[in-house]
Amino acid sequence: MSKGRFITFEGTEGCGKSTQVKLLAERLKALGHKVRVLREPGGTPIGEEIRHTLKHSQQNHAMTAEAELLLMNASRAQLVREIIRPALAAGEIVLSDRFYDSTTAYQGYGRELDLEQVKSVIDFAVGSTRPHLTLFLHVPAEVSEERLRSRQSTLPFVRDRIEEADRKFFERVAAGFAAIAANEPERIKFVNGAQPAENVCVRIWELVENILPKFGRW
C-alpha cells in the first residue's frame, strides 16, 4: 500500500468543493503535511487541453456522450500515472476536486450511458488507484443554483458545454451522486454542504483526521 493519502471531493456544481479543498489544504500544510491539490478534468498539461475540449472549445458542440466519457477518462488516466501515483508513493496527501464518482454521476446517471460500461472505462483509467476517502458535499439544487448565479454575476461569461444540459440532466446527476454514496458508505462520507463554509470545514476535518497517518508511523 502506498504511503500517501488520497482524498476526493464530489458533488453537484456549486456544492463548495473548491472552497473546501483550499481550506483543507491550508490546514494540512500548516501541520507539516506535503499536499497536492488537483482538479478533474485536468490537473496535467494534457488533461487541461482535454478539459478545454470538453468544456469551452468552439468545436465541441457535436460531442457525443461516449466521446465525453472517454475524454474524461483519458484526462484521468494521465493524471493517475503522471501525478497521483508518484505523489502517493512519496507520501503526499493528494486532494482532488472530483474523480471517478463524477463520471458515474454525470456520464452514467446524467447522460444515461450503461453503468457497467462506464465502470469498465473507469477501471481501465485508474487501475488500483482508488481514494482512501471521498467527501460528498450535498446541497439542495436551489442552494447550488443561487450560489452559481451570484458567482456568475461577478465574472465575465465563459461558455461551458456541460452546463448547457437541461434541468432533468442535473436532476439525474444529483440522484446519481446520492445512489453512489449510499452504495459505498465506508469510503464515501456525506457532508452537509449547505451550512456556512466554516462549519463544513469542521465536519470535513473530523472525517479527514481519522485517515491521516501519524507522523513517524507511516
Residues near ligand Z5A, by CB under 6 A? 13-19, 39-41, 72, 98, 102-103, 106-107, 147, 151, 162-163, 196-197, 200
**How far is residue 38's CA from residue 94's CA, in Å, rounded to a whole number?**
7
Nearer residue to ligand Z5A within complex by CB, 4 or 14: 14
Could you tell me the smallest distance in angstroms from the CB atom of residue 38 to ligand Z5A? 11
User: Looking at beta carbons only, is 106 or 136 nearer to ligand Z5A?
Assistant: 106
The nearest distance, CB 166 to ligand Z5A, in angstroms, is 12
How far apart are alpha carbons 120 and 125 in whole angstroms?
A: 9
Q: Min. distance of Cβ 82 from ligand Z5A in angstroms?
A: 16
- Report yes or no: 128 and 1 within 8 Å, Cβ to Cβ: no
Nearer to ligand Z5A, 35 or 72 (CB): 72
CB of 194 closer than 8 Å to CB of 141: no
Tell me how far, at minimum, the Cβ of 186 lies from ligand Z5A, in Å. 22
Report DSSP state, residue 15.
S
To the nearest whole angstrom, how small is the minimum distance from the Cβ of residue 20 to ligand Z5A? Answer: 7
- Whether 157 contacts 101, CB under 8 Å: no
Of 40 and 92, which CB lies nearer to ligand Z5A in the complex structure?
40
Q: In whole angstroms, what is the distance from residue 20 CA to residue 22 CA?
A: 5
Residue (116 or 218) nearer to ligand Z5A, CB: 116
Q: Which residues contact 172 (CB under 8 A, 6 or more apart)?
A: 109, 110, 112
